[in-house]
Structure 1
Amino acid sequence: MDAITVSRELKRGTVEQIDTNRKPYQKYFPDAGARVYEENRRNGGAPTILMASWEFMLFAEEKILKDNWSPDAVVGYAKKQNTFDSVPCTKTLYNHCRTHTR
């Protein structure tokens, strides 16, 4: 492990405690460092294509739920009309529909 890795781990795992005289002090806890690391890993990464195409998602929701269009028809129509800045692929829209109908 290099010095940068160690210093980052110490920063993540160091928490402030209060002693019996009500004086604050810093103490390192490996489990706190691991928890912060895992939380940062979950929250990191690039935003999904669905968040980048929010207007399209609102349009797709209306067409699928109210007009009974298939996700494939919605994507095809949106790409043909070229009215949205970002349109996900059909598989991405199907995956989104599948995860939100369970």
Structure 2
Amino acid sequence: MKLLGWVFLLVSLGAVGAGAYLYYAYPFLEVPSPFGPLPLYALLPGAYSLGLLMGGLWALALWLGGVGERRRLVREIRRLQGEVNALKRERIEEIPRIPDRDEA
């Protein structure tokens, strides 16, 4: 987990650093879009942030799915345990006694 944190930090700093480099070295570069020209120095950190947001939403959706699946499995286990306990109450098996042996 520590390694993952460091990799995340370095990639984030790299994206911000690349945006800063483009801002200071080539502030005039623009990308045409239907909303007007977009500066290239803002696109790289913006795309990185959008990817980070989408990854976070995906992880949240996976976590919520896992929580729901866990709840469903816990309910199923409790139902099965109730069935087993009911069967145990129905069939009380007596321990056979051998008349010539002492009780232990």
The two structures have a TM-score, normalised by structure 1, of 0.28
If each structure's helix is expressed as a fraction of its own residues, which one has the higher value?
2
TM-score, length basis structure 2: 0.27
Larger strand proportion, structure 1 or 2? 1
